[in-house]
Each structure stands twice: as structure tokens, then as C-alpha cells.
Copies of this chain bind each other. A is one copy, B any other.
Amino acid sequence: MQEKKIVFFEEGTKDMRALLGGKGAGLAEMTRVGLPVPPGFTVTTAACMEYFARGALADDISLGLERAMARLQEQTGKAFGNPTNPLLVSVRSGAAFSMPGMMDTVLNLGLNNEVVHGLSQLTSPVFALDCYRRFIEKYAEIVLKVPHHHFADCLEERKRQARAFHDHELGSEHLSRLIEQYREIVARFSVRPFPESPWEQLVGAVQAVFDSWQNSRAKVYRKLHGISDAAGTAVNVQAMVFGNLGSTSGTGVCFTRNPSTGAKGLFGEYLASAQGEDVVSGTRTPERVSVMGDFLPEAYGQLLRVASQLETHYRDMQDIEFTVERGKLYLLQTRAGKRSAAAAVRIAVEMLAEGLITTPEALLRVTPEQIELMLHRAVDYKQPLTELTRGLPASPGAATGAIVFDNEGALRLTKAQRKTILLRPETSPDDIQGIIASEGIITSRGGMTSHAAVVARGMGKPCVCGAESVRIDLATRTARIGEHSFVEGDIISLDGQNGKVFLGAVPLVEPEPGREFAHLLSMADDAARLAVRANADNPHDAALAKSFGAKGIGLCRTEHMFMETERLPIMQAMIMAEHEEDRQFALQKLLPMQRSDFTGILKAMNGFPVTIRLLDPPLHEFLPAQHELEAEIAKATTHAARVKAERALRVVEQLHESNPMLGHRGCRLGITAPSVYAMQVEAIADAVFDLLSEGYDPRPEIMIPLVGHHRELIITRRLVESTWGMVEKRRGQRLTVPIGTMIEIPRACLVAGELAKHADFFSFGTNDLTQTTFGFSRDDVEGKFLPAYIAQDILTHNPFAVLDREGVGRLMRLAMTEGRAAKPSLKIGICGEHGGEANSIAFCSELGLDYVSCSPYRVPVARFAAGRALYLGEEQADK
């Protein structure tokens, strides 16, 4: 069936967005339900696509336009091009998806040298001439491609001569002169003469609006928002109404609820005797919409009724444009209103309470990004700010503080009660103290999954990464950003939500999630099929996670525990032990430390599951770097120190790997050095039995990392079971501990059916699974080819941020299906970075996972994403 090329407002409905565009569908719907909309019609997206295909307006469209104008003349009782009773129209673009400001609009079309005289008789000379002046300016710019600055310069010169400050202060003589000058400009710079014929004007404007779909800013916008280039735009042709015909006329924009707070009630602005442009241009300051009630009580009353009717009709907060022409209210547009995060939450919760929307709708009205925004301090953009540069929005939230360049500076300044911002080219695990001490982090290199970004997100600290214009000199502890120079202690601010960096202290707004927020999250919990757990390695994080609503710990890494200052030397002694007894000696010293870690975490998560992953990283991560040891050897003053460093160097060289990511770690360590895993299991078991004795309800789960072959799992599981059994015997206590495996390399997915026979649970480690499935090194990819991949549209997202459904996701699905087929009771979760990302959570929910696990600060977002995941339906993803 061929789609219609022209549809009158009274013929369409709100469901015809694809054909009529958003604006056209809105105007049609309002017309259909009997609201006062100036009459008009839509040249559809189908016409647009045909226009693009042919490179010209098809005959049937031209003919249709003629017929439509004839009908519009009938409807309005006015005539196009007739000076005594002129019909003027607006020509506006309107695509299916809102692209604000991206495409073009022409108002007052139908004016020419003759008609303007008629119009001035019907209204006033100043009004008519000003309309005409604006029309020529806009038409020339949009249709005839005359650079705008010619008109702007001319207008400025005219105002100077007229000693006018604002445009509307120009009298009719100046306006007449201006119109002459404008037409001269057109004659000189346009490819075509200015069309006197209204019909020619109309055809040119329609084509120009179609063409504007292809302009570069529209293309960029579409790419950014994932809108198809093949959608096309519609064009709305509508009879003009005028808000600038004196005090009984005016124009305004209003929301049916407050877009900042979400409070119910008409909220908006009104400008008497003005056209929409005047509101937008900011030349006059509009008043609150309620003032209309004083001047135009009838129209205002009608507006209140109409607003309420529209909100009920659309079941969403509306953003309404209207004009009053000589006391009569006209609606020009209605659409779902943009709103702040707080307003989104409040409106969703209140509309649900009002019975206007359903629970699924309420959940879908708020985005996970909005939930996230509400949890962080934000920059108050209403205040004047000096933006220095912009990097990547690596971790949300805003912070202000004194610049520091290293751990030492951060610790010194925080000791002096100052808040600090850590500024570094990039960060490494060495910088962890500085990160902990600081309010926020800025790096000049690295991307969204760089060390700084990952650590900052994990800690809930704001971070801007890859701010490339920041030049840091670590030696002198100075930095330059643009023309500004900084030394340690200088104040700087950042907004991790958008990557902006500001000079000095900026005003911050504290997060106040409030009652509705809590209500929405609990609705999400009720709706979710997925539980949300947290990744936490210490009691503090465990408690924090619980306070955010985590239902357990999905990943407790045990390696961070060995990194602590007093433990590292013992860990190193264990690694460098030449004899088993030396190794045992070191392990026996580590055992009580590990036990107290586990006691703390299990206590904090009392009654909830805690998945403890046995040691994962390669042992060389615990040793000093080769060059450090070489330096140490070079400057050793005693023979003993030298020998010791040399021995360490030998071990480091021996443990060196060309690709540590694919190296000797995870269960591979457990198999070649079982005493470490045995010590860890013993520590867990002792912690558990201590807590049981004290009346707690510890629920440990032991997770074996990096399994790729079922024999690895069998052997490691046997080690865990025998150690656990030994402690049970020693303590005379018993508890069944679930033993499971990470699924983080492709082979594990491929043999999941076999693994499931020996596992009580699976936990997808999608960080490593993404690395191995793509063959991408997470540590390297962002600085190298990933930006080019995004730019060239090979990838739409960084796959370490948003889970790759086609590749990694397919392996996950395979593992799920075959794992559950082999063992229906198998519990399955995910504990990679993706566990806290909404799109990925939606995919996990769709797959049927039991839980996701993410950093504590992301728990609320994850809970919300999990709750709405089921309702995303066919869209699947948010983007």
C-alpha cells in the first residue's frame, strides 16, 4: 500500500508518528480531539523519501499541495496571496523523532510586496512590515541560501541609525527601508530571485525543509542519537495565527507539571503581544503563565482545561506551545515535556498514584541515567562558570578541590583539612592512596575503562578521563589547561557527568533522592526478575552495598587483601619461597589476616550470600617491577640487600609473561600452587564457623576463577572440599558451602554443560570474556584503536562498557542453555563491569540470569535497570 503524501490535521492521529512526524501527529491528535488548533496539513515523510529518491517534488505531490491549499483557504475563509484577506502559513519540519533545532522553519509565508499592504490594513503597518521583514530574512536564509550575517549586519546598522536598542522598537519607515535593503541583499547573493508568488514560496519552503534533513548538523544529531537516515522528515503547513496583535494577543509555552521538580500544576511562560520567536530570542522577558489569568481570564481558563485534557489524553506531562490571537486561544504544539531527573521520578510515581499510568509505564518513564544523576552531587549550571576543557565523562558526580599531582600531595593537603582533586596523565595501582584521598580525579590520557575510570566508578568518585588539553608536568608539579597555569593547591572543579572541567570552585547541588525515588526503586525491586548484588572486598564496602539495597555480594575479590601495606611483604615472601616450608610459614601468617577479612565481610552481609573468589591475578602482580628491582640492585649498599634484590629479580623474570591476561593465574595457580587456595578456603571456613558460633548467619559461596576445562574444576573443587572438610572435622561444625565457577573465557562457555555438572553456580566474568571473545586487551584498546572503531561505526559502544550481545552475549546464552540443561538448579550471575550498566542488565534479565553484581555505588541504578528490564520488550535496549 502506498502511503499518503499529504494528510490534513483532521485526518491523522497520534499513532501516525512515522508518517506525520512527531509535530504533525501531535497537531492531528489535538485537532481530532477537538482542541483549538489552527488548521493545516502535513506533507508526509513518505513524500520526503520520494523527494530524495527523485531529487525533485513529484507531480502528484505538487498537485496535492495545490489541492490542500485550496482546502485550507476554505477552512480559514482566507485566500493565499490575496491582499484583502491574506492567508499566511507557517512551514515547519517535524521528524518522527524529536531533533530540536536541527531543521528549519519558515513563518509568515505568503507575504509579498502586495500582500504586506493588505495585512497592514487588517492589523497594523508595524506588525505587517515586521512580519514581512522576518519572512524575507528567514526565507532567504533557508530557501535561497543567503548567508544570514548579511541580514544581521544590515539590521544592526538600521537599528543604529534608528537609535533603537531592540528589533521591535523600529518604526514602519525604518522597517520599510530595511525590507528594501533585504531584497537588495537577496538580489545580490541569492542564486534565484525572491519569489513574489506565494505558491512558489511554498514549494521552495517545502523542498528546503526536506533538504534540511540532509544538512550536516542534522546528520550528526541523528548519528549521535541512533536515528535512521532513512526516516525522513515531514513538513507541516499551517495557517498563521498572530500573538503580536496587541494586548489581547500573546504567546506562551507551558508544562502541565513543573519540569524541574515534577510538582503538579501548570508551569510556564507567557509574553503578551508577541510571537514565539520573541520568547526564543530572549529580547523580551516573559512572565509566568499565570499572569494570563489577570488579562485574559477566559483564554487562561481554556488553557488550564486544555492542558489537563492533553495530559490525560497523552498520559504524560505535556510541553504545550500556544498563541492567543485577539483573545482566542490556539494550540500550536504539544509533546511529552523534557524534565529533570527529579521531576521524572516524581511525575512517574505521582501519575501512577493518580491511576494515569501503570507500573511498567512508570518504570519506563525514568531512565537509568536519571537514577544515576539523582545519586550524585551536580554542578549548579545556573551560576556563571568558567569551563576550562572537556574530557570523557568517566564517573558521574561533581567535585571541587585543590589540585594535587600525586599520593604525597593528596595526603599532605587532606591532612590539612583541604579537599583535593587528583590530576594525573593517567593512574595506576600505585596512585590508589591519592585517589582515595581525593574528591575527584582528572586524567589527561585514558578512556572510559582506564584504570582511573574503573576505580573511580567503583568508589563512586567523580572522574574525567582523557582530558587531552591538560598538560601536566609531574616533575615541577604544575599543569596547563589552555591559557591557565596551575600549581599544587590551586582550586579546580569537575563534572564527571559530562566530562567538563571548571576553573575555581563551582557551586554544587547535593543529591536529595527523596521519598519518590525510594518508592520507585522499591517498585523496581518488586518487578525485577534479577537480584542485584554488589562487588565488595571489605566490610566497609559490604555495608555500603547493603545500605544501597544489595541482596548479597556477587564478587568478593581476595587479591586486594594481599595488597595492603603490612601484608604485601608476607605475600611476596610466600611467592619467593624456595622451599615448601617457607611457603607454608608465610601462608600461616596470611591465614589469620584473611580470616578476619572474611569475618568482617560475612558479618556485614549477614543472612545474604557472599561469593568469594579464590586468588585470581598472576603472582607477579604482587612483586615489584623489574626496573625497580634493577634500580635497587644498582644502589644496594650491603651484600645482603643486593642478594635479596637479585633473588627477587630472578623470580620476577621467571614469572614474567608476554601476555599476562592470558597467563598463569586463576585456577591455573590453584592447580600449580594448591597451598594458596587451601589457605584461603581454611580462612573462609574458620571465619564461617566463628560466626556460626556467635549466632550469625554467614552464607559463603566459593568461586573458582578462570576455569576453561571441566578437569580444572574437578581438581580445584576437590581441593576446596577436602580443605573445607578438614576444617569441619577440626571444628566439629558443619555447613554446606556452594562451590561455583567464573565463566570468563570462551572455552568455559563452550563446555558449560560439562562444567555445570561440577558447579553449584556460574558467574559470568564479562570483562575477561569480552577481552578473549574479541581478542581485545582492555588495558590497551582505548588508547589505540577503539576510538577509530567508534568513529568508523564498527562498534557503537565500547564493549567493555556495554555488553556485546552478538558475540559475547551469544556465548553467554550458549553457556546458560547448556549449563541449565545439565543442571536445572544452577544459579547464574554476572560480576563484570557490565553488571552495573543498564543496557547490559536488560540483556542479562532477558537471558534469565539470577543476579547481577556491580560496585556498591551502582546498586541503585542496577536495581532500577533490573526492574524495568522486563518491560523493555521488543526494544530490548535503551538505545
Residues of A within 8 A of B (CB): 657-664, 668, 671-672, 706, 708-709, 711-712, 715, 744-747, 750-751, 768, 771-777, 779-780, 784-785, 788-789, 792-795, 804, 806-808, 810-811
**Inter-chain contacts of A715 with B (CB < 8 A):** 792, 794
Residue of B nearest to A671 (CB): B788
In the complex, which residues of chain B have a beta carbon less than 8 angstroms from the beta carbon of A768? 775
A689 to B664, CA, bound (A): 50
Further pairs besides A658-B660, A662-B662, A747-B774: 18, Cβ < 8 Å: A657-B780, A658-B779, A658-B780, A659-B659, A659-B779, A662-B771, A662-B777, A663-B777, A668-B784, A708-B774, A709-B795, A711-B792, A711-B793, A712-B794, A715-B792, A745-B774, A746-B746, A750-B806
A745 engages B773 (CB within 8 Å): yes
- Tell me which residues across on chain B come within 8 A of A785, comparing CB atoms: 664, 668, 671-672
7 contacts between A and B (CB under 8 A): A659-B779, A659-B780, A662-B772, A662-B777, A744-B775, A747-B775, A772-B773
In the complex formed, the residue of B with least CB distance to A780 is B657
CA distance A672 to B664 in the complex (A): 32
Return the 7 tightest CB-CB contacts between A and B, nearest first. A662-B777, A659-B777, A745-B775, A747-B807, A711-B794, A664-B784, A746-B746
The answer for the CA separation of A662 and B806 in the assembled complex, in Å, is 19
- Report the Cα distance A478→B233, complex, angstroms: 81
Is the beta-carbon distance between A794 and B657 smaller than 8 angstroms? Answer: no
Instruction: Report how far A712 CA is from B712 CA in the complex, Å.
Output: 35
**Nearest B residue to A666, CB-CB:** B775
Tell me if B788 and A672 are in contact (CB < 8 A): yes
Contact B794 A709 (CB under 8 A): yes
A706: B residues at CB distance < 8 A: 775
Residues of B within 8 A of A709 (CB): 794-795, 807
Contact A662 B750 (CB under 8 A): no
**A788 vs B750: C-alpha distance when bound (angstroms):** 23
Question: Which residues of B lie under 8 Å from residue A794 when comparing CB positions?
Answer: 671, 709, 711-712, 715
Q: For residue A772, which residues in chain B have a CB less than 8 angstroms away from its CB?
A: 662, 746, 772-773, 775
Across-interface contacts of A746 in B (CB, < 8 A): 746, 772-773, 775, 807, 811
A664 neighbours in B (Cβ, 8 Å): 780, 784-785
User: Which partner residue on chain B sits nearest A745 by CB separation?
Assistant: B775
Q: What's the nearest-Cβ distance from chain B to residue A780, in Å?
A: 5
For the complex formed, measure the closest distance between the CB of A752 and the CB atoms of chain B, giving whole angstroms: 11
Give A607 to B804 CA distance when docked, in angstroms: 43
- Known contacts A715-B794, A768-B775, A807-B747: does B671 contact A789 (CB below 8 Å)? yes
Beta-carbon contact of A662 and B807 below 8 Å: no
Contact B662 A661 (CB under 8 A): yes
Q: How far apart sit A773 and B772, CA to CA, in the bound complex (Å)?
A: 7
Q: Is B663 a contact partner of A660 (Cβ separation < 8 A)? A: no
- Complex alpha-carbon distance, A780 and B654, angstroms: 11
Are the CB atoms of B750 and A773 closer together than 8 Å? yes
A715–B789 Cα gap in the complex (Å)?
11
> Nearest-CB distance from A714 to chain B (Å)?
9
The interface residues of chain B lying within 8 Å CB-to-CB of A804 are: 747
A744 to B750, CA, bound (A): 16
- Collect the chain B residues with CB atoms within 8 Å of residue A712's CB: 794
Q: Which residue of B lies closest to A712 (CB)?
A: B794
CB distance from A7 to the nearest CB of B (A): 38
In the bound complex, what is the Cα–Cα distance between A793 and B747 (angstroms)? 17
Contact pick for A750, options B708, B711, B777, B807, CB 8 Å: B807
Shortest beta-carbon distance from A66 to chain B in Å: 45
CA distance A257 to B7 in the complex (A): 95
CB-CB nearest in chain B for A715: B792
Of chain B, the residue at the smallest CB distance from A746 is B746
Beta-carbon contact of B659 and A806 below 8 Å: no
Q: Which residues of B contact A810 (CB under 8 A)?
A: 750
In the complex, A747 Cα to B708 Cα: how many Å? Answer: 17
Interchain CB contact under 8 A, A807 and B659: no
Output the residue of A706, A744, A789 with the most chain B CB within 10 A. Answer: A789
- Residues from chain B with a CB closer than 8 A to the CB of A708 are 774-775, 807
| CB-based contact B668/A777 at 8 Å | no
C-alpha spacing A792/B668, complex, angstroms: 12
- Min Cβ gap A313→B in Å is 43
**Which of chain B's residues have a CB closer than 8 A to the CB of A711?**
792-795
Tell me the bound Cα distance from A712 to B745 in angstroms. 23
* Chain B residues whose CB sits within 8 angstroms of the CB of A747 once the complex forms: 773-775, 804, 807-808
Q: Nearest Cβ in chain B — how far from A651, in angstroms?
A: 13
Q: In the complex the two chains form, is B662's CB within 8 Å of A776's CB?
A: yes
A795 to B810 alpha-carbon distance, docked (Å): 26
A879 to chain B, nearest CB (A): 17
**What residues of B have a CB within 8 angstroms of the CB of A668 in the complex?**
784-785
Residue contact B658 to A661, C-beta cutoff 8 Å: yes
Complex contact A775–B806 (CB within 8 A): no
Which residue of chain B lies nearest to A626 when distances are taken between CB atoms in the complex?
B627
**A771 / chain B contacts, CB cutoff of 8 Å:** 662
Q: Which of B663, B745, B811 contacts A780 (CB 8 A)?
A: B663
Tell me which residues across on chain B come within 8 A of A811, comparing CB atoms: 746, 750
> Which residues on the B side are within 8 Å of A751 (C-beta)?
806-807
- Give the CA-CA distance A671 to B785 in the complex, in Å: 8
Instruction: For residue A620, give the distance in angstroms from its CB to the closest CB of chain B.
Output: 11
- Tell me, rounded to whole Å, the shortest Cβ–Cβ distance linking A428 to chain B: 11
Question: Residues of B contacting A671 with CB < 8 Å?
Answer: 785, 788-789, 792, 794
Give, as a whole number of angstroms, the nearest-CB distance from A366 to chain B.
Answer: 33
Q: Which residue of B lies closest to A808 (CB)?
A: B747
B-chain residues with CB within 8 Å of residue A793 when the two chains form the complex: 711
Residues of B within 8 A of A808 (CB): 747
Q: Choose one: B774, B777, B788; the contact of A657 (CB below 8 Å).
A: B777
> When chains A and B are docked, how far (Å) is the Cα of A662 from the Cα of B774?
8
Residues from chain B with Cβ under 8 Å of A657 in the complex:
777, 779-780, 784
Nearest-CB residue, chain B, relative to A788: B672
Q: Are B672 and A780 touching (Cβ within 8 A)?
A: no
Nearest B residue (CB) for A668: B785
**Cα separation A779 to B775 with both chains bound (whole Å):** 16
Smallest CB-CB separation from A658: which chain B residue? B779
Separation in Å of the A218 CB from the closest CB of chain B?
A: 23
Assuming A745-B775, A775-B772, is B659 touching A662 (CB within 8 A)?
A: yes
Q: Looking at the assembled complex, report how far the CB atom of A617 sits from the nearest CB atom of chain B, in whole angstroms.
A: 13
B contact residues around A773 at 8 Å (CB): 745-747, 750, 772
How far apart sit A751 and B795, CA to CA, in the bound complex (Å)? 14
CB distance from A674 to the nearest CB of B (A): 10
Minimum CB distance partner of A654 in chain B: B783
Chain B residues lying within 8 Å of A792, measured Cβ to Cβ, are 671, 711, 715
Q: What separation, in Å, do the CA atoms of A774 and B744 have in the docked complex?
A: 10
CA distance A658 to B662 in the complex (A): 11
A121 CB → nearest B CB, Å: 62
The residue on B at minimum CB distance from A810 is B750
List, in ascending order, chain B residues with CB within 8 A of A744's CB.
775
Nearest-CB distance from A653 to chain B (Å)?
Answer: 12
Considering the chains assembled together, what is the distance between the CA atoms of A834 and B491 in angstroms?
61
Q: Within the assembled complex, what's the spacing in Å between the Cα atoms of A746 and B815?
A: 14
Q: Which residues of B are found within 8 Å of A658, using beta-carbon distances?
A: 660-661, 777, 779-780
User: With A and B bound together, what is the CA distance between A768 and B662 in angstroms?
Assistant: 12
Complex Cα distance, B789 from A708, in Å, reads 12
Q: Shortest beta-carbon distance, A615 to chain B, in Å?
A: 14
User: Which residue of B is nearest A669, CB measured?
Assistant: B785
Inter-chain CA distance A709–B712, complex, in Å, is 31
